[in-house]
Amino acid sequence: MPPIPQHIGPIDIVPLIPYLSIAIILGFILTIVPGLIWIERVVISLMQDRIGPNRVGPRGLLQTIADGVKLFFKEDIEPAAVDKRIYYLAPVLTMIPALAAGATIPFASITIKMDDGAIRTLPMIVGNVSIGLLYVLALASLQVYGIVLAGWSSNNKYSLLGGLRSAAQIISYELAMSLALMTGILMSGSVNLVEVVQRQSGGFWNWNVAQAYGLGFIATCIYLVAMIAETNRAPFDLPEAESELIAGFHTEYSSMKFAMFFMGEYASMLAVSGIATTLWFGGWLSPIPHNLLPMHNLLLDYIPGGIWFLFKMYVFFFGYVWLRATLPRLRYDALMNIGWKRMLPLSLVVLFCTAVWATFRMPEEVRPESGADRPIANRQLPSTSPGGGLRSGSIGIAE
Amino acid sequence: MNWALILFWTFALISVGSALLVVANTNPVRSALFLVVNFFVLAVFYFTLGAEFIGAVQIIVYAGAIMVLFLFVIMLLNLGAPEALKERGKLGPAPAIVMALVFLSLIGGVGAINSGLRPVSPRAAAFMQTGGTPEKIGASLFDPNLPWLFPFEITSFLLLIGVVGAIILAKRKI
């Protein structure tokens, strides 16, 4: 990307980056969901040898928009004897954590030509805080409240069963997921997600997924399975198993409240995919270092980091859809067996082995300072958060 | 009046209000939810004090895991109508007075420390300077020159005993 000057007219860009990032994240998530639903429907129909949506717009592209309009104008049914406040609060509670989780994920890089002539690559991130990954983990763990409360407040036994299943499932898989994330933290040596990405620079063989003689790959697989279970998607969609529970926790929801559950689910899918991209697959970095071949510079320099991030995230989304079209739903005891008896011990072993590996690896490997291809040459990043309570500048062990 | 103070008082009011509502509510699920709100505000206080790690862990452990289990159990137990949960036995004012005294002395103690009547121990003061990023906390927990390595390891051992004990109690046949 050709560098952008620091000042466009009288406006300084650098302190605006967090606000730009907020706008981009919210705008992106809220507008991309219809597109994702369309992709899902088309891909599933192709996999199942059906035609799929093809009436509204070219290749049914406007079908989800039509569905959205329908949901807006549908009657908002409120069943008898619901716990009203919690019933209305629940859809909001599924949306908010999913939207807020994007705040510490660096989703792109921006090259800026500073006023003094230096060219700097800054990450696009809302809050470059030292606890980046923990923040996302905290919000992911709050996701369950919306579903549980929706199930409880609906005054419907199927909803309640769906909510309880969801709580049990999310608690069980959160353990394996957290342990896998800890493995990733051990590999990159930081909880700050910008540093996590920076330390994976220099080609896809430096990504965490390829680290530690296959341990990174196992941890990635554990994380990916747990992330599907955390977002209640097939084959782990027991909370809304339609063959036994009608529609599970959102049986009693109609109109826009139902749409909010839908949006929340897709937003949380995007959030966990973003974490997978950042922690295991090098975030916004391109898989091939820029200086590998002279030809690459022409091509790769014009692909901004955000495109790589989007591409990787879409691969995960495609994986979600693929699994939904391929695998049948798990039985409840099988779900618990996999979570507690297979994935948890496996992730503990992987964590232990990675700790041993991290202790004995060469010190140079800790921080690949290969120089030229590092997207951010300057280790002391300027603070990119809008001067809040968090000391966002202190991101590293550097000081 | 600066922004930090406005933020503090807003969250302080939310914190106290939600804590009162935890006790005052007759509906157990709502009580649990207000406790979640309280934990959340506590995390905000940690953040504003610069203890980011503790704040995040507060949300992950308490709001994200323990309170979900609480809710789970409350829903499974199906406690029935909220009216049935109203106090059965009257305790009278004596325990309330004792608890109020304990509470007031706590507030007094904290106030005394803050106003400089009682000095903070130099170690604690040094730690407050270093800040609460994960790196700093990890480095001080495992620093052999600081007194926290042994208690930390012993605590993890204690937790392990707790886990094993829970399994043995819950499962007759292993």
Q: What is the pLDDT of residues A169-198, one digit of tens each?
A: 888 888 888 899 889 888 888 888 888 888
Give yes or no for residue B31 having a pLDDT over 50: yes
Q: Which chain B residues are closer than 8 Å to A167 by Cβ? A: 68, 71-72
The rounded mean pLDDT for chain B is: 80
CA dihedral sign, ordered A106, A111, A115, A119:
positive
Q: Which chain A residues are closer than 8 Å to B56 by Cβ? A: 131, 134-135, 137-138
pTM over 0.90: no
How far off is chain B from A117, nearest CA to CA, in Å?
A: 33
Residue B57 contacts A where some CB pair is shorter than 8 Å = yes
Residue A69 contacts B where some CB pair is shorter than 8 Å = no
Amino acid at the residue A364:
E
* Chain A CA closest to residue B70: A167
- In 3D, which of A389, A254, A99, A292 has the Cα closest to residue B45? A389
CB-based burial label for A83 (10 Å; 0-12, 13-18, 19+): middle
Q: What is the DSSP string of A315-326?
A: HHHHHHHHHHHH
Residue A52 contacts B where some CB pair is shorter than 8 Å = no
The residues with which A112 forms a beta bridge, in sequence order, are A4, A120
Give the pLDDT of chain A (399 residues) as one tens digit per residue: 567 777 777 777 778 888 888 888 888 888 888 888 888 888 888 888 888 888 887 888 888 888 888 888 888 888 887 778 888 888 888 888 888 888 888 888 877 777 777 777 788 888 787 888 888 888 888 888 888 888 888 878 888 888 888 888 888 888 888 899 889 888 888 888 888 888 887 777 778 888 778 888 898 999 999 989 888 887 888 777 777 777 777 778 877 888 888 888 888 888 889 888 888 888 888 777 766 666 666 666 667 778 888 888 889 999 989 988 888 888 888 888 888 888 999 999 999 998 888 888 755 544 444 443 434 433 344 444 333 333 333 333 332
- In 3D, which of A56, A53, A55, A57 has the Cα closest to residue A39? A53
Residue A176 contacts B where some CB pair is shorter than 8 Å = no
How far off is chain A from B154, nearest CA to CA, in Å?
A: 19
Inter-chain residue contact B131 with A391, CB threshold 8 Å: yes
Between vectors from CA A316 to CA A310 and to CA A319, what angle results, nearest 5°? 140
